[in-house]
Structure 1
C-alpha cells in the first residue's frame, strides 16, 4: 500500500483552493451548525404531519424511556394499551415497562449463565463466548423477547409498578450486574472444566441477581398475586379491575401472543424464508429470536392493513439515522448533502448492513399513514418514546423512502398475512447471535 505523500497533500490543497463550491461550503459550515445549514427546505415543507389514514385513538400520554435502552418495551406497552383505552373509555393509561424490564433482566441473567454452561468447552477467546461476555444484561430486546416475558410473568398497569431511578437511568445497575455475571461466568467455566456440578451455584447466582435488582428497582409484583387497579375513565367515572399479572394479559389486555409474527426485510438473505438468530433470547427453553424475511413492499402492505384495521404497528429501524428531533422528521433527503458534493445514497441497504453502516437499533410505533391516489404509502406517523419534548409533541413523520431504506422489521398478526403463514414451517436460515439482525436485542 502506498503512503500519503507531501506532494499528494499539496495537490489536494491546490484542488480545494481552486474549487469555489468547496470553499463556499467550508466558509459556511465552519461557522455554523451543519444540521441546520444543510436542511432541504423543500423536504421540510413536504414532510407534513397530516395523514389521511390513522388510528381512531392514539395512546396517551407520550412516554419517555429516559436514559435507558427500553425502546422495545415502551413500543410494546404503547401498542398494548390501545385496547385498554378503548375498552375502559380512558383518556390515557400506561402499562408498566419497568415490570417487564425487571423480569427480562432476571431471565437474561439466567439465560446468560445457561449459555456459559453450554459453551464452557469453547475457548474463552472464541467469538461466541466473547459475544456472550460483551453485554448479556443490556436493556435492549425484541418483540419476541417481550412476548416471552409476558407469557411467563404477565403485565401490570404502570401505577402498580412505576418507574424507579434505576429503570429510568439504568447504567449503574447494568454495570454492577455485568460485573457480577462475568465473575459468575469464570466460576462456572472453571468448575465445569474440572468436572464439578454447578446447578446449585447457578441457583444462588440468579438469586443474587434478583436481590440486586430488587434493591435498585423495587420488589416487583408476583405473576400470580392478585392486585386491584383503580382509575377514572374519560367521564370521571370510577372503575376498578381485580386481576393477577398473568390473568391481566388474557382477560383484560386480551393479548394473544402466538398470533403475532415479525416480518423482516434483510436484503442480504433469501426472501420468503424464516431467519433465526442462533442463541439470541432471554428465557431458557424458549425459541431464539426469529423473523419471516420478505420484500420491503410486504412490510409496507402489512402496515397499511393494520392501520386500516385501527391497529398500531411495532417496528424496528435504524435510528437516529436521518432523524431531526427538533422538527419531528425522518427523511433521507432532509439534509441536502449534494450541496457539498457528498452522496449519501451511494450504497444499497444490503451493503450498508454488511459493512456495518446500518443495523436495527430502535423500536417505535406507527399510528397513521398517508396514502396516495393509488393507495400507496407516502409517509407514516411515528410514536416515539423520547418524551413530548422531542419531535412534534413526541411524534415524527417518516417518509416512505426512509421506510424502504432504514426499516427492518414490523410486527403484525398472522390473520393479516395469511398467505405467508405457511412459510413459518420451512427450514430457517440460521444467523449467528452477533449478526446485525439481532442488534436491537443488544442495544
Structure 2
C-alpha cells in the first residue's frame, strides 16, 4: 500500500534528529567538509603503503587527459612493456592511442549504422532502439574491441600519430559525431520503411561513412599506412626501421598472439552461472571482427591467474568500478577508505551481485595491475598503473586493497596458458547472448 508523507511524520523525524546529541556536530562537519572527507578513515592510508613483493617496471605513466580511452591506454601500456624489455626504448615511450582512437570511432560509426538497419523494423520506443540511440558511439571500450582494431589496423608509435585537441579532449568530437550518426539513423530508418533495396542502403551508408571519415580526419589527423620507426635506445644507440606498415610494426615490435589472451569476468549474479561464457548483443566496434566474449569465474580463481601472470613478468589488464571507495589524489582504492554508513548511522551495504542487479555498480575504468604484495602466499594489496598522468597517487600508480578487488573488479585479461584444462574447455563454449544493457557490457 502506498501513502504520501504526512506532516506528523516530518515532525517525528525532526524530533529524532534533535534528540540525537551528536547530530549538530556531524551536521557542521558534513556541511563544511562533505561526506567523503568527514567519513574518511586514516587507517586506510597507512595500510595501503605502496610496497609490493612482486613489482614490475612498466615505465612512465601515460595520461588520457579529458577522454574516456582508459581501455586503450591500459591495453597499449601492457604492450609497450614488450618494447621496453625487448628493444630498450625509453621509459616515456608510448604507442599511439590516437591512431587506435581514429579507427575505433570510424568502426564504431559503421557498427552503429549497421545496427540501425538491423533494428529499423522495430519502433523507436522499443528498448533496443532506445538503447542504441542513447549513445551512438563513445570513447569507451573493452579488451576484445581493442584486439579487433589491432587485428585489422595494427598499431603505431605515438610519434607517428600524436595526440590532437579532440583526442585529448573528446567531448566536442563525440557531440557532433553522435549528432551526425543520429541524423544518419533517421535517413536509414526511413529508407528501410520505404522498402529501399540493399544496394540503395549500401550506397547511402557509404556516403555517410565518407563524411564521417572526413570529420575524424579533421579532428584526429589522418592515419598512416606506412612509416619509419626511428628512436634511440637506453644505451643511446640509434635505430631506424623504414617503410613499416602498422601491422608490420605490431608483429615485429610487440609480437604477441592476441588469440592467446581471453577476457575473464566475475559476475556473481544468478543469471550468469560460473564456468560459462557470455557475449552481449550489439556490443562491439569492428563489423565482422572479434566477438566480445567473457568467461565467468569465481574471484579467488581470477586472483590466482593474475598472480601467475605477474610472477611470469607480465602485467594484467583489468576493468573495475574506479569511483567506488577510492581517492585519486592519494592513489588508494580500499573498502575501508570511507565509512559513510557509520557517519549517517544507516545500513548502506549491498553484495557485489546486488550492486550489479540494482544498478549501483558496473565496470567504468580499465587499468593495469603491475604488482602484488603476497603475505603467506595470499594477496593483501595490488599495484595499479593508471592512465591519469603522474600527479595522482604515487607518480600515477595506485594501491588497491585485496578487499576492494573482491568487491569492485569485474574483468581480467589473462593469457590462456595459465588456464587449466577445465577452464580452457569452458572458455571454448559458445557464449550465451546477454541483453545490450547488461552490466557486463559496460564500456571502460
TM-score (norm 2): 0.95
**What corresponds to 1:190 in structure 2?**
190
**What corresponds to 2:38 in structure 1?**
37
Partners of 2:36 and 2:236 lie apart in 1 by 46
Give CA-to-partner distance per residue, 1:359-403, whole Å, 9 cap, x none. Answer: 000000000000111x11110001101111112210110000000
SS in 2 for 1:32: helix
**What corresponds to 1:153 in structure 2?**
153
Give the one of 298, 302, 314 matched to 1:299.
302
Runs of 4+ residues deviating >3 angstroms: 341-345
SS in 1 for 2:442: helix
Partners of 2:229 and 2:170 lie apart in 1 by 27
Partners of 1:266 and 1:241 lie apart in 2 by 45
Residues 438 and 249 from structure 1, CA distance in 2 versus in 1: closer, same or farther, beyond 3 angstroms? same
**What corresponds to 1:81 in structure 2?**
80
SS in 1 for 2:414: strand
Partners of 1:392 and 1:147 lie apart in 2 by 30
**What corresponds to 2:96 in structure 1?**
96
Decide whether the 8 Å contact of 1:155 with 1:246 is kept in 2. Answer: yes
**What corresponds to 1:141 in structure 2?**
141
Q: Matches of residues 112-127 of structure 1 in structure 2 within 5 Å?
A: 112-127=112-127
Q: CA deviation at 1:344?
A: 6.4
Decide whether the 8 Å contact of 2:61 with 2:387 is kept in 1. Answer: yes
**What corresponds to 2:165 in structure 1?**
165
Partners of 2:184 and 2:76 lie apart in 1 by 32
Decide whether the 8 Å contact of 2:111 with 2:287 is kept in 1. Answer: yes
Q: CA deviation at 1:35?
A: 2.8
**What corresponds to 2:415 in structure 1?**
413
Partners of 1:388 and 1:301 lie apart in 2 by 29
Structure 2 spans left out of the alignment, 5+ residues: none
Greater shift, 288-297 or 78-87, is seen at 288-297
Matched, 1:28 2:29: yes
Decide whether the 8 Å contact of 1:279 with 1:288 is kept in 2. Answer: no
Decide whether the 8 Å contact of 1:54 with 1:310 is kept in 2. Answer: no
Give CA-to-partner distance per residue, 1:198-254, whole Å, 9 cap, x none. Answer: 1111111111100110001111112xx2x1111111122212233210111112211
SS in 2 for 1:236: coil
Residues 117 and 162 from structure 1, CA distance in 2 versus in 1: closer, same or farther, beyond 3 angstroms? same
SS in 1 for 2:367: strand
Matched, 1:240 2:243: no
Partners of 1:273 and 1:174 lie apart in 2 by 35
Decide whether the 8 Å contact of 1:277 with 1:432 is kept in 2. Answer: yes
Q: Matches of residues 283-362 of structure 1 in structure 2 within 5 Å?
A: 283-342=286-345, 346-362=349-365
Greater shift, 144-153 or 416-425, is seen at 416-425
Pairwise CA RMSD: 1.4
TM-score (norm 1): 0.95
Matched, 1:201 2:200: no
